[in-house]
């Protein structure tokens, strides 16, 4: 099976799109060849994909959105040449139905990954987010025969999260002695430093002075120096840059401080309690839904959350609330989504092999 993935990462876009596509691509690579097409942007992850063994065709651009969908499709087809694919996978807020129609003859079928309820012309639509009103929007914005894979059951995670699930869920949570801070790969708002400022103030609280803190940022984080300074001010803080050990760091933590983006499903898989802050509009439905389910503690939007709020959030979590939150989070996602999606794509590819897809008006 031959698969083409069109996805980007940058300081502005973040890294979540690339990481979830890479998780699916790793599973699909077992059944054939996977190729990526990505733009060269400030903070991209193109080299990281290459170090993982993927073939990456690069598109050159001066900005994230300085091009039309038709122009992107033309550049994409030029980058891959005359190659034909069983699947094209597109995960990009700047690309939708128009791009998919322009790419129709490049592949037999298209999988679109989205979480905004946009219009698509594809055979399969994947939205891994919790059930929300956004899911209802797809009813009138997809072809009638489009298969919809909706919910955290299909969350695209690397296999190490599911591998550590049993171990993480079995650990006792009697209090908070180790915290993981991760606000996304790029964190352009520098919420990481704000959270670390709040943790520093816990040093005056009994039993919290020796708190161990793992801090994770991406290589493209524009505030790395400030984060390094904040870590240096904490006696037991360790900074991890573009780590490959995220699953283990989550499994070792008693609680996390983060955002309700794609890392939500990683935390849920491991039953990791969390204090979270909304950093972007598309995170709001996830943050609110998981909070309602008891899977994390939502502080609110970043501009209304202070350093003191992070400190108070951690202090509010005792053993009973940590264990209840862990159980609720683990019930939301089991980490096997990439397996489920890959199996579905392989089944459909094997069912009708080599038949061009039908264009929709």
Q: What digits encode the pLDDT tens for the residues 10-46? A: 988 888 999 999 999 999 998 889 999 999 998 899 9
pLDDT digits (tens, 9 = 90+) for 77-110: 999 998 899 999 999 999 999 999 999 999 999 9
Under 8 Å between Cβ of 104 and 113: no
Q: Which residues contact 84 (CB under 8 A, 6 or more apart)?
A: 2, 106, 107, 108
CA 87 from chain center: how many Å?
21
User: For the residues 295-300, what does the mean pLDDT come to?
Assistant: 98
Confidence label for 360 from pLDDT (cuts 50, 70 and 90): very low
Backbone angles phi, psi at 174, to 5 degrees: -95, -5
Q: Decide if pLDDT at 224 tops 90.
A: yes
User: For the residues 201-215, what does the mean pLDDT come to?
Assistant: 80
Q: Write down the pLDDT at residue 168.
A: 97
Q: Write down the pLDDT at residue 354.
A: 47
Q: Write down the pLDDT at residue 357.
A: 46
Q: Hey, what domains does the chain have and what are their CATH numbers?
A: 2-157+336-351 (3.40.50.11190), 160-330 (3.40.50.2000)
pLDDT digits (tens, 9 = 90+) for 145-165: 999 999 999 999 999 999 999
**In 219-330, alpha helices (H):** 224-232, 246-252, 263-269, 284-292, 307-315, 319-330
Q: Write down the pLDDT at residue 40.
A: 93
CA 335 from chain center: how many Å?
12
Q: Write down the pLDDT at residue 355.
A: 47
Between 75 and 351, residue with greater pLDDT: 75
Q: Decide if pLDDT at 64 tops 70.
A: no
Under 8 Å between Cβ of 232 and 262: no
Q: Write down the pLDDT at residue 350.
A: 86
Phi-psi sector, 216: left (phi>0), alpha (psi -120 to 50), beta: beta
Rounded to whole angstroms, the maximal C-alpha distance in the chain is 67
The pTM score is 0.90
């Amino acid at each position: 099976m031959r698969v083409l993935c069109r996805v980007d990462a940058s300081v502005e876009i973040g890294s979540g799109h690339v990481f979830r596509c890479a998780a699916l691509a790793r599973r699909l690579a077992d059944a054939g060849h996977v190729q990526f097409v990505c733009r060269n942007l400030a903070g991209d992850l193109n080299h990281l994909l290459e170090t993982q063994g993927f073939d990456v065709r690069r598109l050159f651009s001066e900005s994230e959105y300085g091009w039309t969908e038709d122009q992107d499709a033309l550049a994409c087809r030029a980058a891959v040449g005359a190659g034909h694919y069983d699947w094209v996978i597109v995960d990009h807020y700047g690309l939708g139905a128009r791009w998919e129609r322009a790419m129709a003859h490049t592949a037999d079928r298209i999988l679109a990954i989205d979480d905004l309820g946009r219009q698509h012309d594809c055979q399969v639509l994947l939205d891994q987010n919790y059930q929300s009103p956004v899911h209802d929007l797809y009813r009138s914005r997809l072809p009638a025969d489009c298969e919809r894979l909706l919910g955290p059951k299909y969350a695209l995670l690397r296999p190490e999260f599911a591998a550590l699930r049993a171990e993480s869920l079995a650990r006792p949570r009697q209090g908070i002695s180790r915290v993981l801070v991760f606000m996304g790969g790029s964190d352009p708002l520098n919420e990481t430093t704000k959270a670390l400022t709040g943790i520093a103030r816990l040093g005056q609280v009994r039993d919290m002075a020796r708190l161990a803190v793992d801090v994770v940022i991406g290589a493209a984080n524009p505030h790395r120096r400030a984060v390094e300074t904040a870590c240096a001010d904490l006696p037991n803080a360790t900074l991890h840059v573009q780590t490959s050990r995220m699953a283990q760091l989550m499994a070792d933590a008693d609680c996390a401080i983060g955002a309700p983006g794609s890392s939500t499903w990683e935390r849920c898989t491991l039953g990791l309690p969390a204090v979270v802050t909304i950093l972007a509009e598309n995170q709001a439905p996830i943050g609110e839904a998981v909070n309602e389910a008891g899977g994390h503690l939502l502080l609110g939007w970043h501009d209304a959350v202070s350093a003191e709020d992070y400190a108070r959030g951690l202090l509010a979590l005792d053993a009973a609330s940590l264990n209840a939150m862990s159980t609720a989070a683990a019930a939301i996602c089991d980490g096997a989504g990439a397996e489920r999606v890959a199996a579905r794509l392989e089944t459909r590819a094997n069912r009708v092999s080599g038949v061009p897809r039908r264009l929709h008006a």
